[in-house]
Every structure is written in C-alpha cells, then in structure tokens.
C-alpha cells in the first residue's frame, strides 16, 4: 500500500502541496468568489421578496377596490329597485284613478240612459192611456151613441190599466 | 506493468514529477508529485468553476445556477446544523466540500483512455488527515475562544448523575478525540476501496479476456458489467463522502458554537 510504504518519504510533500492548493482554494474561492455568489443570491432573494410584497399590496388594494365597487353597486341597485317600485306604485295609482273615472262616467251614462228609458216608458204609457181613452170614447160613441166626456173615459181607462 | 498482471494499489503510488525530486523546504521534501499535480488541477478547475458562476446576473444562466446550487446547498447545511451563526463558516465549509468533491470526481475521470493516469488525492490519508485535523483545529479554536474552559462541559452531557461523571467524562473525551481520525479515515478508506475494487475488476476483465473465450464469458464479461454499475456507485460515493465530511464538520462546529 503506497500510502503507508511511501509515508516517510512523501508526507511532507503531500502536506505542503495540500496546504498550498487548499489555501489557494480557500482564499480565492472561499473568501474571494463565494461572497460575490452569495451576495447575488441574497440580492435576488430580497428582490423576489420585495416583488412578492408589492404584488401582495397590489392585490390587497385591488380587493379593497372591488369591495368598494361592490358596496357602490349594491347601493345603486337598491336605488334602482326603489325607483322601479315607486314607478310601479305611481302607475298603479294612476291606472286606478283612470279606472275610477271611467267607471263613474259609465255609471253616469247608465243612469242617464235608464232615466231616459224610464221617461220614455212613462211617456209611452201616457200616450197609450190617451189613445186608449180616445179609443174608448170612440167605441162607446159608436156602439152606444153616448158621448162620454174625456175625463170619464180617461178615468175608466186608468182603472182598467191599474187592475191589469 | 507486467503483462496480464494488475497491481490494484499501484494507482496510489506517488511519483515526483518534472525532476523536482529534491525540492525541499527546511529539510522537508516538497517534491511536486503526481498527487500535488492533481490537487493543483482540482484547485484550478474549482476556481474556474466558481469564477464562471460569479457573474452576479440577477437572472442566472446555467453555469451560475450550478454554482449557486452548490453554495445554496452548503449554506443550507450550515443553517440546519448550526443556525444563523453558521454563515461565517461558509467560506471554509464550501471550500472543503468543493475541494473534496472535485478531487474525488477528477480521480474518477476515465483519462486512462487517452494515456493519462488520474490520481485521487483524497485516497491518501496524509491528505484527508490534514483536512480532518484542520476541521478539528477550527472546532477546538472556536470552542475555546467562545466558551473558554467551559468548553469541557461538552464532555458531560445534560442530566448526567454526579457519580457517573468520572466515567462519562473520559468516554466522551475519547469519542471527541477520535473525531479527526474517523473523519480523515472515512474519506480515505471510501476512496481507496472504490478504486481498488475497480482496479481488481478491470484485472479480471483483462486476464479473463486474455485466457480465452470460456473465461471471457464466465469472468471477464460479468466483471465488466459489474464495473459499469460500480462506476456509477463510485460517482455517488464521491459526492456522498464530500457531503459527509462537510456535514460532520458542521455537526462538530455546532458543538463548539452552541455547546448543548
């Protein structure tokens, strides 16, 4: 095994060159280049953390904005609903009023017509009475040769008409 | 190497390169060996890899993503084991993890196909031992600097009955002192075992194929199929061992930092 067989003749050279090489690595890599690498990594980590924080803040702002918008929208919707309800109520009221007015007019017309019908009927009845009385006078005069005064004939017609 | 005979541990041999055999500092030999060469390659590849990812782009490319994946992985490891105080150990743990990982992976490269011999520096306990001792020394330094002599209370777990302390204390102390050995040996053994296994199996493939059609069918071919699976396993082990080394260093640092 050369590690043991050559130990006495090579140990000093091995140790010397190891210290030279490892020392070179330690000072050049460990103390010279490594801080550059780690500072770059730290800088990047910090930048990423900052960016994430900024994004988080922006998200929170957007959330707040959305919340405010929701509140506004809800308020506006409520206003619109109130407006619609108001309009509906108004429309219903005016419809009702118009209906009432129309109903009143119809009733009035009906009453007038009924009154006219009543009057016409009364007039017709009077006419029939007069005609009947004249006819009765005429009939009596022709049959019995008696001249009946108009009042008597009228009374007799009335009595017959009243008894049906 | 003799034909048909494969020495499975020859790959760990250290050979001085470029005639530097006699370089020395204060009497200690510091020859630039193949091991030193592969450690240097590891360092260069690692520096190039991390430098390519240190472009500081806010939107990272693939390369930067890969490097940031590794730093994030080690950072998480420290966070979950030590907590916020773990960030200051990131340069050391990251260097440690990446150096071991790259050394492990570079040693597995199939460069023999083009005539080069990859060398796994982490298959030498001299190397892993130094890394382990370094981690352990940091644990001790942090522990004593932060808690002073109070650091010794680490060896007395919470709620230990008073008469048990004389027994518990040496046991805990020994288990603590064994840490650098277990840390270094674990990595060295895992790397060496994997490479020896691959070498032995490739020896079967070569000898079995040379010995005729029958041995090719019953020995070489199954060994070759097994090697494919074990190569994948070795890639996994290379990552896991680097992770375990870094993880245990974090766990030990947590003891020193937070002292139960």
- Does residue B67 contact residue B47 with C-beta atoms inside 8 Å? no
B5 is a domain residue: no
Question: Domains in chain B: how many in total?
Answer: 1
In a domain, B121, yes or no: yes
- Kindly state the DSSP code that residue B28 receives in the 8-state scheme: E
Of B13, B30, B94, the CB nearest to A16: B30
Give the pLDDT mean for A25-33: 88
A39 contacts in B (CB within 8 Å)? 56
Look at B43 and A22 and tell me if their CB atoms are within 8 Å: yes
Closest by Cα among A8, A17, A4 to B25? A17
Residue B25, H or E segment = strand B24-25
pLDDT in tens, A31-79: 888 888 888 888 888 999 999 999 999 999 999 999 999 999 999 999 9
> Rounded distance, CA B226 to CA B222, Å?
6
If 0-12 CB within 10 Å is exposed, 13-18 middle and 19+ buried, where does residue B34 land? middle
- H/E segment holding residue A28: none
Distance CA A103, CA A121 (A): 26
- Decide: B100 and B187 in contact? Cβ < 8 Å: yes
Of A17, A28, A40, the CB nearest to B39: A17
Residue B3 placed within a domain? no
- On whether any CB of chain B is under 8 Å from the CB of A30, the answer is yes
Domain carrying residue B170? 10-258
Q: Is the pLDDT of residue A5 over 80?
A: no
- C-alpha closest to that of B143 among B152, B135, B154, B151: B151
Half-sphere exposure at residue B222, Cβ-oriented, CA atoms within 13 angstroms = 5
pLDDT at A80 over 50: yes
User: Given an 8 Å threshold on Cβ–Cβ distance, is B95 in contact with A29?
Assistant: yes
| Within-domain flag for B226 | yes
CB contact under 8 A, A10 and B53: no
Mean pLDDT to the nearest integer, A118-140: 87
pLDDT tens string B144-162: 888 887 777 777 777 778 8
Residue ranges of chain B whose pLDDT lies below 50: 1-4
Would you give the distance in Å from CA A56 to the centre of its chain?
Answer: 37
**N residues, chain A:** 164
Q: What is the mean pLDDT of residues A15-19?
A: 87
pTM of the model: 0.72
A116 against B163, higher pLDDT: A116
How far is it, in rounded angstroms, from Cα A151 to Cα A99? Answer: 53
Of chain A, the end-to-end C-alpha distance in Å amounts to: 161
Instruction: Count CB-CB contacts under 10 A for residue A156.
Output: 16
Contact across the interface for A3 and B47, Cβ inside 8 Å: no
CA separation for the pair A11, B84 (Å, rounded): 38
**What is the Cβ-side half-sphere exposure of residue A155, based on CA atoms within 13 angstroms?**
4
List, as ranges, residues 42-61 from A with C-beta within 8 Å of B. 43-44, 47
pLDDT digits (tens, 9 = 90+) for B46-73: 999 988 888 777 778 888 888 888 988 9
Those residues whose C-beta lies under 8 Å from the C-beta of residue B64, and which sit 6 or more positions away, are: A37, A40, B52, B53, B54, B55, B57
DSSP A63-117: HHHHHHHHHHHHHHHHHHHHHHHHHHHHHHHHHHHHHHHHHHHHHHHHHHHHHHH
Q: Is residue B199 in some structural domain? A: yes
pLDDT of the residue at B3:
47
Q: Is residue B2 part of a domain?
A: no
- pLDDT tens string B95-124: 999 999 999 998 888 887 887 788 888 888
* In a domain? residue B53: yes
d(CA B235, CA B194): 10
pLDDT for position B1: 39
- Of A97-106, A137-146, B8-17, B48-57, where does the model show the most confidence? A97-106
**Looking at residue B5, what is its pLDDT?**
61
For residue B179 the two structure tokens come to 């840490």
Residue A33: which of B14, B42, B54 has the nearest Cβ? B54
Please indicate whether, in this complex, the C-beta atoms of B123 and A3 are within 8 angstroms of each other.
yes
Residue B106 lies in a domain: yes
Ramachandran assignment for B41, one of left (phi > 0), alpha (psi -120 to 50 degrees), beta (any other): alpha
Q: Do A40 and B12 touch (CB under 8 A)?
A: no
d(Cα A96, Cα B132) in Å, to the nearest integer?
106
Helix ranges restricted to H, B2-159: 34-53, 62-81, 90-107, 125-147
The DSSP letter of residue A130 is H
**Which residues in chain A have Cβ-Cβ distances shorter than 8 Å to B31?**
10, 13
């Amino acid at each position: 095994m050369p590690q043991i067989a050559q130990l006495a003749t090579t140990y000093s050279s091995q140790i010397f060159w190891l210290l030279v090489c490892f020392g070179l690595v330690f000072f050049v890599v460990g103390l010279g280049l490594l801080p550059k690498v780690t500072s770059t990594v730290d800088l990047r980590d910090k930048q990423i953390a900052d960016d994430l924080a900024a994004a988080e803040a922006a998200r929170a702002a957007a959330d707040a904005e959305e919340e405010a918008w929701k509140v506004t929208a809800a308020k506006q919707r409520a206003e619109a609903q109130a407006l619609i309800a108001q309009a509906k109520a108004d429309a219903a009221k005016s419809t009702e009023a118009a209906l009432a007015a129309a109903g009143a007019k119809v009733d009035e017309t009906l009453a007038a017509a009924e009154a006219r019908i009543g009057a016409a009927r009364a007039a017709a009845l009077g006419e029939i009475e007069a005609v009947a009385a004249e006819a009765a006078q005429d009939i009596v005069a022709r049959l019995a040769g008696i001249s009946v005064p108009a009042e008597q004939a009228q009374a007799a017609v009335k009595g017959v008409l009243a008894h049906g | 190497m003799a034909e048909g005979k494969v020495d499975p541990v020859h790959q760990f041999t250290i050979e001085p390169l470029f005639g530097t055999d006699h370089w020395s500092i204060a009497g200690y030999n510091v020859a630039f060996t193949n091991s030193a060469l592969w450690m240097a390659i590891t360092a260069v590849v690692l520096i190039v890899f991390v430098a390519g990812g240190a472009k500081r782009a806010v939107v990272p490319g693939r390369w930067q993503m890969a490097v940031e994946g590794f730093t994030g992985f080690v950072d998480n490891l420290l966070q979950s084991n030590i907590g916020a105080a773990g960030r200051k150990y990131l340069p050391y743990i990251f260097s440690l993890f990446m150096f071991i990982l790259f050394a492990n992976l570079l040693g597995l490269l199939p460069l023999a196909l083009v005539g080069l011999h990859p060398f796994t520096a982490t298959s030498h306990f001299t190397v892993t031992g130094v890394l382990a001792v370094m981690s352990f020394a940091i644990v001790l330094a942090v522990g004593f600097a932060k808690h002073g002599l109070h650091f010794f209370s680490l060896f007395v777990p919470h709620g230990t009955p008073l008469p048990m302390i004389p027994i518990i204390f040496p046991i805990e102390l020994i288990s603590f002192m064994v840490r650098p050995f277990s840390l270094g040996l674990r990595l060295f053994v895992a790397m060496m075992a994997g490479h020896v296994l691959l070498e032995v199996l490739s020896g079967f493939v070569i000898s079995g194929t040379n010995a005729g059609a029958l041995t090719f069918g019953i020995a070489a071919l199954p060994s070759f199929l097994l090697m494919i699976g074990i190569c994948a396993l070795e890639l996994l082990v290379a990552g896991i061992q680097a992770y375990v080394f870094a993880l245990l260093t974090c766990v030990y640092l947590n003891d020193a930092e937070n002292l139960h």
